[in-house]
Structure 1
Amino acid sequence: MEEFVPSAAIAHFVMKVKDVESSYAFYQGLGLRGIDKFPEMAIIELRGGTHLLLAAKDDPMAGALHASRVGQRPDFISEKIDLMIAGHTRADLEKYRAELMANGYSPADIAEAPLYGHDYFSMLDPDGHGVSVYTSHCGDKPV
């Protein structure tokens, strides 16, 4: 039986940051892949190929990125991103969280009750953006 693979994926998610360098290091420390850095923007790759574009808040060159933000509320002063680990169990999430703590991160406790079948915890990035980390629900399906 042929596995269905979705025809599209999220390509880019733009997050405005105060300090590109510290944000780049923060997200690499979460286990995401650093792709490239420029003076006012950096690219981080997530599992599945989605790119997180870390754009300096006051960079005029980032205007081209922000010009295409149809539907984004202009009053947002911070943003939130949800990440999903490859693991499916609470034990997998506990291991990932412990690794982050050993590397100097300060995540909140894992929530007592799952949210729609996901165990999760949250924390803040250097700019105060919310970062929540969830267990996967994809089973053995390709991603």
Structure 2
Amino acid sequence: MKEFEAESPLPAAALGHFVMKVRKVEVSYPFYAGLGLREAGTFPGMAIIELRGGTHLLLFQKDEEQSDALLDGRNGQRPEFLSERIDLMIAGHAKEDLERYRADLVGKGYSPAEIADETLYGHHYFSMQDPDGNGITFYTSHCGDKPV
């Protein structure tokens, strides 16, 4: 068996799916699409949003049969949000890139927090909440020149 890295400049694997349970799929789906994520489709009780790199955010309606089998997740790095949370990384590396992205969200009617004065492991970042109160933190990228 050949090594994957020898055949492709991309990493050998990517995060395929990130599952979140939401109160109303019909509210959360346009919210996440408005962040600049790609709409991939809606289905009874769930919707799919595509992130850069091909990862899919699966939004499942809480308290429906298909989501009852899913465990509640506790992901992300920012401890100030006690509910489920997700960390998203923009394509830009500089604080100015994050400032432009944040300004675009404000222009669309979102209410993100200010960009933090300090960095977290070299990342500039800001946070906000989705319609369910789940925390979302947006970071500048740490990806180098290699394709991801």
For residue 141 of structure 1, report the CA deviation from its aligned partner: 1.5
Partner of 1:54: 59
SS at match of 1:53: strand
Counterpart of 2:36 in structure 1: which amino acid? G
- Which of 4, 9, 13 is 2:14 aligned to? 9
Which structure 1 segments of 5+ residues have no match?
none
TM-fit CA distance, 1:30: 0.3
- Structure 1 contact 114–120 (Cα < 8 Å) conserved: yes
* Superposition CA RMSD, Å: 1.8
Q: Give the distance between the partners of 2:83 and 2:42, measured in 1 at CA.
A: 22
Letter in 2 for 1:33: R
* Aligned 8 A contact 2:73 2:84 in 1: no
Match of 1:119 among 109, 117, 124: 124
Q: Under a length normalisation based on structure 2, what TM-score does the superposition of the two structures give?
A: 0.85
Structure 2 runs not aligned, ≥5 long: 1-5, 75-81
Scaled by the length of structure 1, the TM-score of the pair is: 0.88
- Equivalence for 2:42: 37
Cα-to-partner distance string for 1:100-136 (whole Å, 9 max, x where unaligned):
0000000000000110010000000000000000000
Report SS of the residue matched to 1:48: helix
Q: CA deviation at 1:78?
A: 2.7
Q: Does 1:95 align with 2:103?
A: no
Quick check: 1:78–1:128 contact (8 Å CA) kept in 2?
yes
Q: How many residues align?
A: 135
SS at match of 2:116: coil
- Among the aligned pairs, what percent are the same residue? 64
List 4+ stretches of structure 1 deviating above 2 A. Answer: 2-5
**Structure 1 residues 72 and 133, CA gap change in structure 2 (3 angstroms):** closer
